[in-house]
Amino acid sequence: MKGIVFTEFLELVEDKFGLEMVDRIISSSELASDGVYTAVGTYSFSEMLQLLQHLSENTGISIDNLLLVYAEHFFSVIEKSYPGLLATYKDPIEMISSIENHIHVEVRKIYPDAELPTFEVIEKTDDHLVMDYTSSRAMHHFGLGLMNKTFEHFNSTATIELEKIKEDGTKVRFVINKN
C-alpha cells in the first residue's frame, strides 16, 4: 500500500482525535516501518489494517465507517493531486465506470506497485450502474466514500447500495442509482 495512503490517514486521525491517538495506535501495532511513512514509499497492507483495528477499538467506530470517512477525505487529496484525471470526466457514472479501464490504469503508471482493486461493470445506463468490487483488502467502504464524493464533485447525488457477494467483503456488488 502506498505511503500517501498512510500519511493522509495519520493526518486525518491527528485532526479528528489528536496526536495522542496517533501515538497510541502506532505504539499498539507491530509495524515493520515503526510508523514512519513517506508519501512515495510502499508499506504492507497489514500495517494499515492494524492501525484501523486499533483506531476502531479506541473510538468505538467500525472499520467500515472509518474507511468511509477516510475515503471522503482522500477524495480531496485526489482532487488536489490529479486534477487532470478528474477533468477528463463530465459525469459521475462515466467516471466511476471508468476506474478499472482508465483511472486506475493511470494510477498504476504513476505507482507501478500500487495495490488496486478490480471493478467489473455488470449493468450501465445513464443513471444506473451495477459494478462488482473484488480485492483481498476488502476496502469496499473506501470505494463507497470515493463514490459519494465523486457524485458531490459533479453536483449530483445518488443512492448507493452494497451487497456482499463474499461474506468477508472481498467481493461486493455496488448498485448505484443517480437521484
> Which one of 17-25, 55-63, 113-121, 162-170 is the stretch in contact with ligand HEM (CB under 6 A)?
113-121
Q: Is 158 in the site for ligand HEM (CB under 6 A)?
A: no
Q: Cell triple for residue 126?
A: 445513464
Footprint of ligand HEM on 68-107 (CB under 6 A): 78, 82, 85-86, 96, 99, 103-104, 107
Site for ligand HEM in 35-74 (CB under 6 A): none
Q: Does 162 bind ligand HEM (CB under 6 A)?
A: no
Smallest gap, in angstroms, from Cβ of residue 18 to ligand HEM?
Answer: 25
- Print burial letters for 62-75: b (CB count within 10 Å at least 16), e (below 16): ebbebbbebbbbbb
- Asked if 5 interacts with ligand HEM (CB under 6 A), we say yes
Q: Which three cell numbers stand for residue 157?
A: 447525488
Among all chains, which residue has been given the C-alpha cell 478528474?
86
CA dihedral 53, 56, 57, 60 (to 10 degrees): -160
Nearest in space to 7 (alpha carbons), one of 62, 75, 83, 74: 74
> At residue 29, what is the residue type?
S
**Region from 1-9, 12-20, 49-57, 165-173 binding ligand HEM, contact rule CB under 6 A:** 1-9
- Residue 122 beta carbon to ligand HEM: minimum distance, rounded to whole angstroms: 14
- CA-closest candidate to residue 113, choices 40, 26, 29: 40
The vertex-178 CA angle with 174 and 179, nearest 5°, equals: 130
Q: For ligand HEM, which residue of 12, 26, 68, 135 counts as binding (CB under 6 A)?
A: 135
Q: Which residues bind ligand HEM (CB under 6 A)?
A: 1-2, 5, 78, 82, 85-86, 96, 99, 103-104, 107, 114-117, 135, 137, 139, 142-143, 146-147, 150
